[in-house]
Structure 1
Amino acid sequence: MNLRYSSGNVVNEKVHKIGVIALGSFLENHGAVLPIDTDIKIASYISLISCIKTGAKFLGVVIPSTEYSYVKHGIHNSVDDVIKYLDFIINEGKKIGIEKIVIVNCHGGNILIKDKLEDLEKKHNVKIKLLNFPLTHAGTEEVSIGYVLGIYKGSLEEHNNFGKYPEVGMVGLKEAREKNKDIDNEAKKVEKFGVKLDINLGKKLLDEYINKVIKEIISFI
């Protein structure tokens, strides 16, 4: 049987060789207004919309996530757990013709997997591109995106209670701030300016991230 690769809204029939995977975190505190699985919901939205717009294949989500040992705001797994799950998805993707993969990551700790992606490329004879979209944890950008996606609910004033919600901006995560200058710098900004809701910013960032994924998909073609 001949499959109709050119049918439907596809930028090019070769796009069927490209898969997109969402990477985030399922179990992290995100203050008062965002759910614990905010990261993976944002990553999944960006990934799926990018596939809808191009015709690339959305291969799903990675359930495990990893994190720096000193960042304690949720439940995470090892780097090897994440790689093992990716290995499974890529292996199954190969069976449907996937040769190139874009990983959309919206959880900072997952950056730790980057050094092991080359091993997956060699094992499966595929090309992998990891796109990281780091957002200040439960900060203005993430809250604004969450509102646009419809996962925001609650009081922003309550959310800015850093004593009760130390994970917001990682303001109250003392060990993380001591060991990571980038985290400390972001926390200082959140302490100074607080977390705000900016719907236009949320829409702008989503469009920007989706366009970056689309650009990567097209470059693979």
Structure 2
Amino acid sequence: MRDILELRWEAGNIIDKKVHEVGVIALGSFLENHGSALPIDTDVKIASYISLMVSLITGAKFLGIVLPSTEYSYVKHGIHNKPEEIVDYLRYILSWSRKLGIKKVLIVNCHGGNILISKYLGDLEKEFNLKIVMKNITFIHAGTEEVSVGSVIGIAREDKIEDHHPSKYPEIGMVGLKEARENNKLIDRDAKIVEKYGVKIDRKLGEEILNRAIKECVECIRELIG
């Protein structure tokens, strides 16, 4: 009979050995336009950055990235999937997570359209006997906040910011997405902000946003193990 390996649960930089029961998942979007200064997978890169940093700070397990994403039908700036496809992908991750001893999960979501999966999380909790929390960290699409965060983590092309304007790229602030603006008051509000103030890179702002997001997610982990 094989000997049972004794794992060193208290080793390394962890906030509490109970953190081994907590997993962190990054959720974003891989295929949507973000003007000239940001890549098409901006949302998932920001979500991954925050998720990994939170995992490093707390010792929670980084469980990876969800590949599909979803969007409201009236927002047409990329290629997305059905909410049910995200749920199916999460089901695969959560199934394996349980085998790792995970009992609680933090989903760090940086794509607004993915909020549509919120109504399915309760069913997943029951199916896998898990506690699931989704933290939504979203910005005006390709606006000042997002390009500033992108600059800090190294995904923004600062030499392209002069060309980064909604007159050329209608998805910036969703200014040129008429159907989206007509169907969603919040999108229209954000578009008006971009129309009035434009878009610029502010690294100090980007650092503040990132630090706040990471801090809030770390607090979510503390609450989950508390």
Identify whether the pair has TM-score above 0.5, normalized to the shorter chain: yes
Match of 2:222 in 1: 218
Aligned amino acid, residue 170 of structure 1: M
Counterpart-to-counterpart distance in 1, 2:168 and 2:144: 18
Q: Does 1:155 align with 2:163?
A: no
Structure 1 spans left out of the alignment, 5+ residues: none
> Aligned runs of 1:57-96 on 2, under 5 Å?
57-96=61-100
2:178 is equivalent to residue 198 of structure 1: no
Give the distance between the partners of 2:63 and 2:217, measured in 1 at CA: 14
Q: Which amino acid is 2:46 matched to? A: I
Confirm whether residue 47 of structure 1 aligns to residue 42 of structure 2.
Answer: no
Whether 1:167 aligns to 2:167 is no
Ranges of 4+ aligned residues in structure 1 off by more than 3 Å: none
Q: Which residue of 2 aligns with 1:21?
A: 25
Deviation at 1:91, TM superposition (A): 0.5
1:155 alignment partner, SS class? helix
Aligned length: 220
Relative to the length of structure 1, the TM-score reads 0.99
SS across alignment from 1:131: strand
Structure 1 window deviating more from structure 2 (147-156 vs 130-139): it is: 147-156
1:38 and 2:42 correspond:
yes
- 1:201, 1:80 → 2: CA distance? 35
5+ residue gaps, structure 2: none
- Taking the aligned partners of 2:138 and 2:47, their CA distance within structure 1 comes to 11
Residue 213 of structure 2 aligns to a residue in which SS? helix
Cα-to-partner distance string for 1:162-200 (whole Å, 9 max, x where unaligned): 122000000000000000000000000000100011100
CA distance in 1 between counterparts of 2:147 and 2:201 reads 6
Distance 1:139 1:99 in 2: 36
d(CA) in 2 for partners of 1:32 and 1:9?
A: 39
Amino acid of the structure 2 residue aligned with 1:89: I
Cα distance in structure 2, aligned partners of 1:53 and 1:131: 17
Q: What's the offset of the Cα at 1:122?
A: 0.1
Structure 1 equivalent of residue 135 of structure 2? 131
Instruction: For 1:213, give the aligned amino acid.
Output: C
Amino acid at match of 1:158: D
> CA deviation digits over 1:27-66, x for unaligned, max 9?
0100000000000000000000000001000000000000
Name the SS of the counterpart of 2:26 in structure 1.
Answer: strand
Q: Secondary structure at the match of 1:104?
A: strand
The alignment yields a C-alpha RMSD, in angstroms, of 0.5
Q: Does 1:100 align with 2:126?
A: no
SS of match in other structure, 2:132 = strand
Q: How far off its partner does 1:134 sit?
A: 1.4
Equivalent position of 1:115 in the other structure: 119
Q: Percent identity between the aligned chains? A: 59
